[in-house]
């Protein structure tokens, strides 16, 4: 059985280190694990309950379908003003509706990692994101992966060059797969 992970980077910036870490996850995933990069964050409108429902905007339906079809989700968060980016929070708001068991994120096994150019590796954002996802009904696996000083961890082409971070990412993905596999088999 293969496991499908949807990687959702929380940055829109061209050359984003968060996107680079999501791409690294694809390369470092355990054998039999497919990591798909979600690149539609910028197309999601701000959450508006009046737009929600069966006729939700196409980008919202796409996000919900891709989360629902994935066995697990890897959220890669930057840190803006000590918390998650607004666009990432917006995506979770859309994925958490309708509330309860019908939401795409409800019961989904997820992991959180974070990247920043500062010295803490988006730790505050990761803590907030874990809380947000838990409230939304996701099954958040234990552990964090802070990637500090991203400008040193990645080369000029966005490739992860820090072997220690690569190994920690491999381990984090293995934990995510181990947590997601029993749930995927039961479905």
Q: What is the SS3 assignment for 17-43?
A: HHHHHHHHHHHHCCCCEEEEECCCHHH
HSE at residue 17, side-chain half, CA atoms within 13 A, is 24
Position with higher pLDDT, 187 vs 79: 79
pLDDT of residue 144: 87
Cα–Cα distance, 64 to 95 (Å, whole number): 6
| DSSP conformation class of 138 | -
- DSSP SS3 for 3: strand
Q: How many CB atoms lie within 10 A of CB 151?
A: 9
**What pLDDT, in 10s, does the model give residues 23-67?**
999 999 999 999 999 999 999 999 999 999 888 999 999 999 999
**What pLDDT, in 10s, does the model give residues 125-173?**
999 999 999 999 999 999 989 999 999 999 999 999 999 999 999 999 9
pLDDT of residue 183: 62
Residue 1 has pLDDT above 70, yes or no: no
pTM: 0.95
- The CATH architecture of the domain made up of 3-186 is 3-Layer(aba) Sandwich (3.40)
Helical H segments across 6-145, by residue range: 17-28, 58-69, 86-95, 123-135
């Amino acid at each position: 059985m293969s496991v499908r992970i949807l990687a959702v980077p929380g940055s829109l910036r061209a050359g984003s280190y968060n996107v680079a870490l999501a791409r690294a996850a694809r390369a470092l995933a355990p054998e039999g694990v497919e990591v798909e990069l979600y690149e539609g964050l910028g197309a999601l409108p701000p959450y508006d309950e009046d737009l929600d429902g069966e006729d939700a905007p196409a980008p919202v339906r796409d996000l919900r379908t891709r989360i629902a079809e994935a066995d697990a989700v890897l959220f890669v968060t930057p840190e803006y003003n000590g918390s998650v980016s607004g666009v990432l929070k917006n995506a979770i708001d859309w994925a958490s509706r309708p509330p309860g068991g019908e939401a795409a994120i409800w019961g989904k096994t997820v992991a959180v990692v974070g990247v920043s150019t500062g010295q803490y590796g988006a730790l505050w954002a990761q803590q907030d994101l874990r809380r947000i996802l838990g409230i939304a009904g996701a099954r958040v696996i234990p552990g964090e992966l802070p990637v500090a000083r991203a400008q040193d961890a990645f080369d000029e082409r966005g490739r992860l060059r820090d072997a220690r971070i690569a190994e920690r990412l491999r381990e984090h993905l293995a934990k995510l797969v181990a947590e997601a596999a029993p749930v995927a088999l039961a479905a």
